[in-house]
Amino acid sequence: MAQKTQIPKGTRDFSQSEMLKRNYLFDTIKRVFEKYCYLPIETPAMENLTTLLGKYGAEGDKLLFKILNSGNFLKQVNTEDIDEKNLNALALKISEKGLRYDLTVPFARYVSQNRNDINFPFKRYQIQTVWRADRPQRGRYREFFQCDVDVIGSNSLLNEIELIQIADEIFANLKIGCIIKLNNRKILSGIAEHIGESEKIIDITIAIDKIEKIGLDKVISELSEKGISETSIEKLIPILKLSGTNSERIIQLKNILKNSEIGNQGIIEVEQILTLIQSFSMNSEVVLDLTLARGLNYYTGAIFEIVATDMNIGSICGGGRYDDLTSIFGLPNVSGVGISFGADRIFDVLNQLELYPKYLEKNIKLMIVNFGDEVLLNSLQLLEKLRKENIKAELYPDSIKVKKQLNYANKRNVEYIAMLGQDEIANNLISLKNMKTGDQHKVNFEDLLNILQK
Amino acid sequence: MAQKTQIPKGTRDFSQSEMLKRNYLFDTIKRVFEKYCYLPIETPAMENLTTLLGKYGAEGDKLLFKILNSGNFLKQVNTEDIDEKNLNALALKISEKGLRYDLTVPFARYVSQNRNDINFPFKRYQIQTVWRADRPQRGRYREFFQCDVDVIGSNSLLNEIELIQIADEIFANLKIGCIIKLNNRKILSGIAEHIGESEKIIDITIAIDKIEKIGLDKVISELSEKGISETSIEKLIPILKLSGTNSERIIQLKNILKNSEIGNQGIIEVEQILTLIQSFSMNSEVVLDLTLARGLNYYTGAIFEIVATDMNIGSICGGGRYDDLTSIFGLPNVSGVGISFGADRIFDVLNQLELYPKYLEKNIKLMIVNFGDEVLLNSLQLLEKLRKENIKAELYPDSIKVKKQLNYANKRNVEYIAMLGQDEIANNLISLKNMKTGDQHKVNFEDLLNILQK
């Protein structure tokens, strides 16, 4: 009996036309990464759960896809495990591997595991799928791609600058207008110090990170709820409201944070980055955004976020500097900085704004109509000659009605149709039809090649 | 506390130098696929277990990686499930998804699910990872790549020919010497008919498929064990021992199988393929091999297998025609033919025989030595100008000892080193060092560009 055929919720098939578009996106990203001398690595889809658990918070642990042990997975299980309904403990008894949740933890594991073979500073990129058992919804998938680019083992701010340039060049190549937002975790620490709430730095950054989404008022309520005093909040508001150019805000901020060593250090870093960036011809504006915090706790220096200007879709790229990512795997004091491109959101922007180059549609140059066995050898010889010239060409495999063959070619976006009947063969010519214009005329092989190679 | 960091058994990380090699392999394969007008699709890593189970035999079912349901996976479980230790039934209560085991079943599922949108004949390729809970051993992994190319929805033998050409061109491009073995399942049926054992065709093909591995004698014992009579075996042996050129063996075979309709049909198909193939300039020999059976039961017509001639590693590519792959998913009578490239074995051949092109190692063209803040802007400007010309260049991010910087560049296989000190800047020159020859001299920007673009 025939089965119902469905893919799991939250996952996607990619059709040929989608793949052409996705490959365009990934190839554009890779080309820029490699021009800046970042090279790829890949890690396995599965990691040991000991590697993954505890790295993404309790919520993240729940979203890990766990893989049932093969063989007798009940080996360590007894009936009490079931009665107690202690799912987490039981899950670990019957599964020891999970699917990767992001590329950051596998990268940290990779660096730690291969520390003796790695040539630091290590400039790597990684484009792979990740899996999260999130509730599927529009634009949120259980299997999706991440594109990460990082350099690890160098404290130099030149790395931050290079990553900004990479993002700028990628979005320029993709024709996506965007703003690059910059902040520094040290400035956020300085602000926490200044308002007298140093120990609440995490709560403060989490709250102000939401300012664009929920607005200043709700951020203030959240800060109150977290126990930040009214005096502190009053001291914070003018900082969040600072206005003017980057330089103007930096001057004001320097004055406000003059007594915070860490705050000043952050300001100096931001200033250096913004100054050096000015010497490059950038496509996007780089803006100091003091409300940019990014939720992740492992950032210690610069933080970035890139938003598209022509579509309201949130952040399409983000990252920052982390000073201690690999220490959890036994390799302390290795500073790194990286950014991650949100491939699925960028894909949405490209689709929505129709930013694909025209050539993507034209993937197949020529189809030879199949007129049956009598002219088959001639057709195959023509095909072979064209393929020797690297022309993407094919012969329709069956000698069915010409109309059906043309219909197939049309749906397939074939650019040209070649017809090779007895007449054409006798005169050493080929009837060539341009499928877009409908133009049709007879050409010899040399002309054909010229047209197809144009 | 620092954790032990290990990847799961049977999985691999791919380092940057391995990725360069693997990308060379995959890019070579993709380029040929696309030249022959096959386009990519991708399917999700996870499929519903209902899609996967029962497609690979009982042994295959055991090798599926199953994914623990998220949330309360014990919902449908009671203590008796545990007591009974009925692992298979329990596994299905706590997991509804599995990782794909090959690309064939997901492809069949895809074609069936998208039948209304697909333009038949559907020429697709698919290069993705698959997972099997096999016992890991040398050269056998739990996560590995498959590269499949298929055309579905056409009965024409031109498809078989095209796939042979594709394989031939790919291995020629990779500089891997090989032999293309061809057989036809219908000939095998004809042989079974001829020896009077039609109903044992599966046992017969499975046994003779092993002839290269275990030898004729052991195949004969296996046939006896399966209940094939001595008379039948005696009739079979001369067929397995046929010798001579393709044409010579075809003539003898025609005579032997003259009373088998299906056998004759198979011979005609093989003859047509071999005749047409002769009109192309092929790199590899195509050999009719009557002992070629391939284990999979779904093949119905042509079967292929490709073996490397310069390394004893078994089949590196194989496939065949299947007439009913999608019927299990409710789409009957769609004939297809496809081949699958064994990426990991091909990778082993490339590595063992060192068949990589020289340019692969030369990935980074130039590194600028970092001489500190005083010349930083000049260095960055030079870097920007080079990258505008699409030169893969970088500036060492920290101004550490030059020796250390050169050591880094050397390990990274950088081709040239640029040094830009006060002297060079004053004279508008760049000191350029060829890292391979050790040559060093001063050049202006134009010369630099000429050298790097050579």
A5 and B329 within 8 Å at the Cβ level: the answer is: yes
Residue A295 pLDDT exceeds 70: no
Q: What are phi and psi of B379, to 5 degrees?
A: -65, -45
Question: DSSP for B24-80?
Answer: HHHHHHHHHHHHTT-EE-B--SEEEHHHHTTSSHHHHHHTPPEEPPSS-TTTT--HH
pLDDT of residue A86: 81
A327 and B43 within 8 Å at the Cβ level: the answer is: no
CA distance A66 to chain B (A): 5
Q: Of B18, B36, B37, which to mutate for an interface test with A (greatest number of A Cβ within 10 Å)?
A: B37
ipTM above 0.90, yes or no: yes
- When CB atoms are compared, the residue of B19, B90, B143 closest to A40 is B19
How far apart CA B394 and CA B197 sit, in angstroms, is: 69
Residues of A in contact with B97 (CB under 8 A): 8
A392 and B41 within 8 Å at the Cβ level: the answer is: no
Structure tokens at B307: 């073996």
How far apart CA B234 and CA B25 sit, in angstroms, is: 45
A411 and B119 within 8 Å at the Cβ level: the answer is: yes
Quick one: which of A37, A55, A30 has its CA closest to A126?
A30
Strand, coil or helix: what is A311? coil
Sort residue A50 into left (φ over 0), alpha (ψ -120 to 50) or beta. alpha
Q: Mean pLDDT across the stretch A103-128?
A: 96
Task: Please list the alpha-helical segments (H only) found in B123-210.
Answer: 157-173, 185-194, 201-209
**Residue where the block lists tokens 């149709």:** A417
A19 and B42 within 8 Å at the Cβ level: the answer is: yes
For residues B94 and A201, the model is more confident at B94
pLDDT of residue B188: 93
A109 and B7 within 8 Å at the Cβ level: the answer is: yes
For residues A80 and A22, the model is more confident at A22
Residues of A in contact with B302 (CB under 8 A): none
Q: Mean pLDDT across the stretch A110-133?
A: 96
Contacts for A257 with CB less than 8 Å, ≥ 6 apart: A187, A190, A191, A193, A194, A263, A264, A267
CA separation, residue A141 to residues A8, A9, A307, A343, B45 (Å)? 11, 8, 20, 12, 13
For residues B87 and A335, the model is more confident at A335
How far apart CA B420 and CA A84 sit, in angstroms, is: 69
Q: Output Rg (C-alpha) for chain B, integer angstroms.
A: 29
pLDDT of residue A1: 43
pLDDT of residue A3: 57
A67 and B62 within 8 Å at the Cβ level: the answer is: no
pLDDT of residue B296: 63
- When CB atoms are compared, the residue of B19, B48, B51 closest to A42 is B19
pLDDT of residue A235: 93
Q: Quick one: pLDDT band at residue A263, thresholds 50, 70, 90? A: very high
pLDDT of residue B1: 43
- When CB atoms are compared, the residue of A66, A87, A390 closest to B74 is A87
CA distance B133 to chain A (A): 7
How far apart CA A391 and CA A452 sit, in angstroms, is: 7
Give me the amino acid identity at B451.
Answer: I
- Give the end-to-end CA distance of chain A in Å, rounded to a whole number: 52
CB atoms near residue A410 (< 10 Å): 13
- When CB atoms are compared, the residue of B83, B327, B380 closest to A79 is B83
- When CB atoms are compared, the residue of B68, B112, B395 closest to A95 is B68
Q: Of B7, B165, B333, which to mutate for an interface test with A (greatest number of A Cβ within 10 Å)?
A: B7
Are B75 and B68 in contact by the 8 Å Cβ rule? The answer is no
Beta strands B122-131; B143-152: pairing state: antiparallel
What does chain A come to in residues?
Answer: 454
What does chain B come to in residues?
Answer: 454
Question: DSSP state, A65?
Answer: P
How far apart CA B289 and CA B274 sit, in angstroms, is: 12
Q: What are the respective helix, strand and coil percentages of chain B, to the nearest 5?
A: 45, 20, 35
Residues of B in contact with A43 (CB under 8 A): 7, 13-14
A149-153, A365-369, B322-326, B415-419: segment of lowest average pLDDT: B322-326
CB atoms near residue B342 (< 10 Å): 20
Residues of A in contact with B99 (CB under 8 A): 45, 67
Instruction: Show the low-confidence residues of chain B (pLDDT under 70).
Output: 1-4, 84-85, 295-296
Structure tokens at A408: 């197939």
How far apart CA A134 and CA A96 sit, in angstroms, is: 20
CB atoms near residue B396 (< 10 Å): 24
A57-61, A164-168, B355-359, B413-417: segment of lowest average pLDDT: A57-61
A155 and B36 within 8 Å at the Cβ level: the answer is: no
Q: Mean pLDDT across the stretch A335-351?
A: 95
B8 and A97 within 8 Å at the Cβ level: the answer is: yes
Residue A253 pLDDT exceeds 60: yes
Q: What are phi and psi of B152, to 5 degrees?
A: -130, 135
| DSSP bridge pairs for B299 | B322
Are B174 and B350 in contact by the 8 Å Cβ rule? The answer is yes
pLDDT of residue A4: 61
Residue A84 pLDDT exceeds 70: no
- When CB atoms are compared, the residue of B70, B74, B113 closest to A82 is B74
Nearest CA in chain A to B366: A37
| DSSP bridge pairs for B131 | B143
pLDDT, tens digit, for every residue of A221-242? Answer: 999 998 999 999 999 999 988 9
Q: Of B16, B22, B109, which to mutate for an interface test with A (greatest number of A Cβ within 10 Å)?
A: B16
Handedness of CA A94, A97, A102, A105 (dihedral sign): positive
pLDDT of residue B3: 56
Nearest CA in chain A to B53: A3
Residues of A in contact with B5 (CB under 8 A): 51, 109, 112-113, 329-330
Residues of A in contact with B19 (CB under 8 A): 39-42
Domains and CATH numbers, chain A: 16-42+108-127+134-353 (3.30.930.10), 362-452 (3.40.50.800)
